[in-house]
Amino acid sequence: MIQIISLYNNLKNIYLDNKNIKVNTFSDYQSFDMYDINIINLNSEEIWQCDNYQIESLNIKDDLIPLKLSIKTCHTKIIIVLPKNYEFWYNWISVAKKFRNNKELKSLSETVTNLLQTYIYEKIPVYVYEKCETTIDNFIFNSDFYFSDINKNSILLTSNSGNKVNTIIDENVVITSLDLFNFKVEEKGTEKLNAFINKIYEYDKKEFYPDWINDIKFYNDKKHLNEIKKIETEIEKLKEKINKSKIELEKNKKIKGILYLSGNELNKEIINILEDILKEHNDFKDIFEEDYKFISDNTTFIVETKGLNNEVSGQNVTDAFSHLTIYEDKLEKENRKEKTKCLFFVASERKKIISERKKINSRQKTIAKRNNTLIIDTPTFLNIYEDFLNKKISKDEIIKIFKEQFGVISYNKRGDENND
């Protein structure tokens, strides 16, 4: 016999024809000892309400407190079904007759867990939000949460992918985040519930091995234990390689950010690349309003960066070389002479894919040429940097391009072969 206990009787019709399943509410449930399994269903939006200014209790706590006592004193099987990602409503305004505030349960994991431990069961773990699926006997069970840092001996069920723990056991109490009472049209509620129950209580049908049996070595036990240990060591090494590759991929993703970033973030990444090419760190200070400055091959390069949602305009180019003018005016006042050049790094139409971005037009090219400026679009600069990392172009060759080209940069990527 199974007793399902919910806030309301809305599940009664699903199990109406099943004499082995009784549906009751929090306020009128029967003694747990009358049933083989008692299921506490916390999936009801109205459970997650608190009239107080802050979330410090549940409005239905008076119904839950005796329920907790029943769980504590019961020796039959108990299943606690945690809620989906409902909205938690709080701060009741009596005049307006509505709640002022609400937050999703996924953002209140510690607060809600504390409430569950207070009103339901002390050992309910903190949950983490992530929608997952678990398949049991061709039935798909959805969950909005999983449990982390769980003792592996208490794990009963995990998600289909990612092995996210969604069902655990503590003595006679099973805690699950699976939605046991969500049925597709073609599914039968009783069959789906039975599939879950049969799965989690499989261990009741098995005879557990005593711990000491593992100390007795038989036939080829040692061979296979050594093989397992060897494979586990290899797996750890492979995991380490995977982690290193993931770190490199994240570094590359950060560099590729020059294709779409703007403002300080774009400026920072451009400078990082330039400093890697130059093999020197420049303690640059923004005195003359330029974004960056470096000296190479007897030339002072004034660097400007810009991330644009649209195409490069004449005003953008004018703004860039104006910083060169400011620097040259400063040199004139100090009676100093330097060869200077403006490098304007620009991520234009940055929200579009590269193939859909328009080329910088001839007007902007003319303005740049006239004003000692080289416009460097970030996709081209990324190609140059990739060739530099692959040793297909040197620092001196890059500086030569910066120094000798004006208008819009011209560069063909060197070699089409893939680099592992």
Give the pLDDT confidence of 84-126 residue by residue, as tens digits.
999 999 999 999 899 999 999 999 999 999 999 999 999 999 9
Q: Is 172 exposed, middle or buried (0-12, 13-18, 19+ CB in 10 A)?
A: middle
Residue 205 is predicted with a pLDDT of 60
Residue 418 is predicted with a pLDDT of 46
Please, which pLDDT band fits residue 14 given cuts at 50, 70 and 90? confident
Please, which pLDDT band fits residue 289 given cuts at 50, 70 and 90? low
The 10s digit of each residue's pLDDT in 338-387 is 999 999 999 999 999 999 999 999 999 999 999 999 999 999 999 999 99
Higher pLDDT, 162 or 300: 300
Q: What is the mean pLDDT of the chain?
A: 91
Please, which pLDDT band fits residue 288 given cuts at 50, 70 and 90? very low
pTM: 0.53
Residue 242 confidence (pLDDT) above 70: yes
Residue 415 confidence (pLDDT) above 80: no
Q: Is 136 exposed, middle or buried (0-12, 13-18, 19+ CB in 10 A)?
A: middle
Q: Is 148 exposed, middle or buried (0-12, 13-18, 19+ CB in 10 A)?
A: exposed
As a whole number, mean pLDDT of residues 280-309 equals 80
Residue 209 is predicted with a pLDDT of 60
Length of the chain: 420
Residue 312 confidence (pLDDT) above 50: yes
Lowest average pLDDT, out of 187-201, 237-251, 374-388, goes to 187-201
Question: Which residue is it, tokens 């779409």?
Answer: 260
CATH code of the domain occupying 260-408? 3.40.91.50
Lowest average pLDDT, out of 10-24, 61-75, 91-105, goes to 10-24
The 10s digit of each residue's pLDDT in 258-272 is 999 999 999 999 999
Long-range pairs, 89-96, Cβ under 8 A, ≥24: 89/48, 89/49, 89/50, 90/49, 90/50, 90/51, 90/52, 90/53, 90/54, 90/55, 91/50, 91/51, 91/52, 91/53, 91/54, 92/51, 92/52
Write the class of the CATH domain 2-205: alpha beta
Give Cβ neighbours of residue 86 (< 8 Å, ≥ 6 apart).
Answer: 45, 47, 48, 104, 105
Show me where the domains of the chain are located: 2-205, 211-254, 260-408
Residue 99 is predicted with a pLDDT of 95
As a whole number, mean pLDDT of residues 8-36 equals 88
Helix (H, G, I), strand (E, B) or coil at 291: coil
